[in-house]
Chains A and B, each alone.
Chain A
Amino acid sequence: MSDPSEPVPGLKQRKVFKIIVLGDSGVGKTCLTFRFCEGQFLDKSEATIGVDFRERTIRISNEDIKLQLWDTAGQERFRKSMVQHYYRNVHAVVIVYDVTKPETFHSIASWMQEVESHGLLGSPRVLVGNKCDCGTPESRLATSYAQRLADKYGMPLFETSALLDSECDNVESIFMTLAHKLYSKQPLRVVSVEGERGPRLVTLPRQKRSNTSTDSCLCS
């Protein structure tokens, strides 16, 4: 943990945005957070026991922001007691489902309940359908169907894959969307982030391709 950009005492402290990642076991929460923080697919992912933590520093409007990602265990028994503690001071929420497993999509309602019970309905949230590299278009959950639910909950939808390198920018935009949203909600600050309006148009600092469309899958 020898981060060279660690804040030097006396110099300006970096902002920290804390994002919690929720969703059923096996949908790819660990792989997604790893992809974002390490830039690659985690090929030996392990079951998450309790809560894992990853972070990455990003830059918005010439300011370094630390994104803390809290990767939680999907198994119900972990949520009931221990994970509670880690909801404290969460700023934003990512809910993940697996586009090839409808049951993980149907759990979203209960995840939303959980989000609500922690008073996070007012925080920026995004819905992520992962593993869009898997299966055939027919076997995957239809985007329109997912979009309807996303609209109902008032959260932007992303479909992506933690596996595909070609989706890297897309994973990036999930977390950058939240970061921009949190950033823009800061008080008394002139924010001029290009493309900030609307989650699908976020301009990414590290974007390699210019035509990333966030709601269509580039795979299969």
Chain B
Amino acid sequence: MESHNPDGETGDKCDINGDCSPISNKDTVSFNHTKNIDDISTPSELKFDEDFEFEDPDVTEKRNELERCLKNPDLINLEQWQNFAKSKAGLISDEYRRQIWPLLVGVTEDEMTDPPSLDDLSKHSEYHQVVMDVNRSLKRFPPGIPYEQRVALQDQLTVLILRVIMKYPHLKYYQGYHDVAITLLLVCGERASFPLLCRLSYGPGAPLAPFMQATLQPTQHLLNYVFPVIRRADDRLADCLDKAGVGTMFALPWYLTWFGHSLNRYADVVRLYDYFLCAPPLFPVYVTAALVLHRAPDVLQCDCDMAMMHCLLSRLPDDLPFEDILVTAKKLYEENDPTDLEAEVNALEKREEEQRKLDQERMKRRQAGRVAPRGGGWLGALPAALRRPAGRRAALALTAALFAIYVYYRPELFRNREDSPDL
């Protein structure tokens, strides 16, 4: 039961893409548009100016093959499309993607329906949050996109998101969902991206479904798989991450948005989506592990400090070799099936739970300690310096005397504040 509302505007909303691609430096392929189910918003013509110096011969060959296959798509089975999507360079160009992505998740043409108008949706309780996030998604649009076209696309994005969460009311919108939605929208257009996003959000094994539950608990649990995967590949690196207590937050936007939020290069984002659309739902976590492993030298050099580590990891460099990272991720997945990791993840979560309890107790004591003499909050500064291992000795030498005096007066407070593992 799709709500149809072919509002007269959609036509001209989308015919405005002529100007936004000043230089199309991808080969212009004579392309059979009869299968084009989504002429409304020909999004593939949006161009993210990519430097396109020379094409790898393998990729050129693949391109030719893809074109051959797309002339007779009915003769190609799912596995063949998947092979294209996973192997080197993925689906290469958005012109192919917009046809193949729906096939990868099994969306059919009759599921692609006209969206309702924005007005019909504005009463939804998440409307304001969605609009707020959509309005802040400027970075995700092709540079130089004309204002009207961008605004039109942003409206389509809002509609797309609200349509899905209205169709499945138990699914909760999360900040980051809009980053997935916009990627689909830019590639496939508004009609095709709706059933695509539905497929990703709802149903057994739907990769985004765990993110849309009432809390982020399920997401956090799945993200925790990254640690045993890393540990099995590089013990020293795992120790380093452990010691810094960096947690998984650095990778949260990666997982929630399939890296769409965190990568600057559009080409990298769509390449990863090619793969994720036909990979197991947990695969992005293995890509996360592969990425951290790839950056191991930086991580090992980094201050063993939660903030520094979080900062280092959460900012992704622009020149990541994603083809290699995907190969590594695939290997990691084959060698460490999620079911084999369950026990390790459970143990890790148990440890975290215990730590949380300790933190809570520590905090209670801290509160109790505060009541006695007023103004006890200052202590923060001192242990912060001491916690930094690089400066530990120096700081200790400098402050040992002061510290001794302090501890003499307020031993309980110090213990509450310091992050000592033996508490």
Quick check: A47 and B311 within 8 Å, CB to CB? no
Q: A1-B312, A12-B398 are in contact. Are A53 and B307 (CB under 8 A)?
A: yes
Stretch at the interface among A133-141, A179-187, A196-204, A210-218: A179-187
Q: A13-B385, A186-B382 are in contact. Are A50 and B249 (CB under 8 A)?
A: yes
CB-defined interface of B349-381 with A at 8 Å, one 1/0 digit per residue? 000000010010001101100100001111111
Quick check: B402 and A85 within 8 Å, CB to CB? no
Contact of B215 among A18, A26, A49, A81 (CB under 8 A): A81
Complex interface residues of chain B between 34 and 87 (CB less than 8 A to chain A):
none
Complex interface residues of chain A between 50 and 98 (CB less than 8 A to chain B):
50-53, 55, 68, 73, 75, 77-78, 80-86, 88-92
Quick check: B381 and A49 within 8 Å, CB to CB? no
Select from chain B the residue with minimum beta-carbon distance to A6: B303
B310 at the interface (CB under 8 A from A): yes
B295 at the interface (CB under 8 A from A): no
CB-defined interface of B381-400 with A at 8 Å, one 1/0 digit per residue? 11111011011001100100
A17 at the interface (CB under 8 A from B): yes
The answer for the CA separation of A183 and B327 in the assembled complex, in Å, is: 50
Q: What total of chain B residues lie within 8 Å of the partner, measured CB to CB?
A: 60
Chain A residue numbers with a CB within 8 Å of B178 are 47
Chain B residue numbers with a CB within 8 Å of A90 are 380
The answer for the CA separation of A183 and B53 in the assembled complex, in Å, is: 54
Chain A residue numbers with a CB within 8 Å of B394 are 10-13
B346 at the interface (CB under 8 A from A): no
Quick check: B378 and A75 within 8 Å, CB to CB? no
Q: Which one of A25, A81, A82 has the greatest number of beta carbons of chain B within 10 Å? A: A82
Chain B residue numbers with a CB within 8 Å of A123 are 377, 380
Stretch at the interface among B8-16, B131-139, B194-202, B275-283: B131-139
The answer for the CA separation of A9 and B249 in the assembled complex, in Å, is: 29
Select from chain B the residue with minimum beta-carbon distance to A123: B377
B394, chain A: closest CB distance, angstroms: 5
B217 at the interface (CB under 8 A from A): yes
The answer for the CA separation of A33 and B326 in the assembled complex, in Å, is: 35
A156 at the interface (CB under 8 A from B): no
The answer for the CA separation of A47 and B174 in the assembled complex, in Å, is: 10
Q: Which one of A15, A25, A47 has the greatest number of beta carbons of chain B within 10 Å? A: A47
Quick check: A82 and B216 within 8 Å, CB to CB? yes
Quick check: B175 and A80 within 8 Å, CB to CB? no
Q: A82-B216, A187-B406 are in contact. Are A17 and B381 (CB under 8 A)?
A: yes
Quick check: A78 and B175 within 8 Å, CB to CB? yes
B252 at the interface (CB under 8 A from A): yes
Q: Which one of A25, A45, A46 has the greatest number of beta carbons of chain B within 10 Å? A: A46
- Majority DSSP secondary structure for residues of B touching A: helix
A44 at the interface (CB under 8 A from B): yes
B220 at the interface (CB under 8 A from A): yes
Quick check: A13 and B215 within 8 Å, CB to CB? no
The answer for the CA separation of A186 and B384 in the assembled complex, in Å, is: 12
Quick check: A75 and B359 within 8 Å, CB to CB? no
A142 at the interface (CB under 8 A from B): no
The answer for the CA separation of A80 and B252 in the assembled complex, in Å, is: 14
Select from chain A the residue with minimum beta-carbon distance to B217: A81
A61, chain B: closest CB distance, angstroms: 13
Chain B residue numbers with a CB within 8 Å of A51 are 249, 310
B253 at the interface (CB under 8 A from A): yes
Quick check: B311 and A53 within 8 Å, CB to CB? yes
B338 at the interface (CB under 8 A from A): no
Q: A15-B385, A25-B129, A81-B215 are in contact. Are A49 and B311 (CB under 8 A)?
A: no
Chain A residue numbers with a CB within 8 Å of B247 are 82, 85-86
Quick check: B364 and A119 within 8 Å, CB to CB? yes
Chain A residue numbers with a CB within 8 Å of B364 are 119
A1, chain B: closest CB distance, angstroms: 7
Q: Which one of A18, A123, A187 has the greatest number of beta carbons of chain B within 10 Å? A: A187
B160 at the interface (CB under 8 A from A): no
Would you give 18 A-B contacts (Cβ < 8 Å), ordered by A?
A: A1-B312, A12-B398, A13-B388, A15-B381, A15-B384, A16-B384, A25-B132, A46-B139, A49-B175, A49-B176, A49-B261, A53-B311, A53-B314, A88-B359, A89-B383, A119-B364, A122-B376, A185-B379
Nearest 3 pairs of A and B residues by beta carbon: A185-B378, A13-B391, A91-B380
In the complex, besides A77-B172, A82-B220, A89-B387, 11 extra interface pairs with C-beta distance below 8 angstroms are: A10-B394, A17-B381, A18-B380, A47-B176, A75-B175, A77-B174, A80-B216, A82-B247, A88-B419, A119-B363, A186-B381
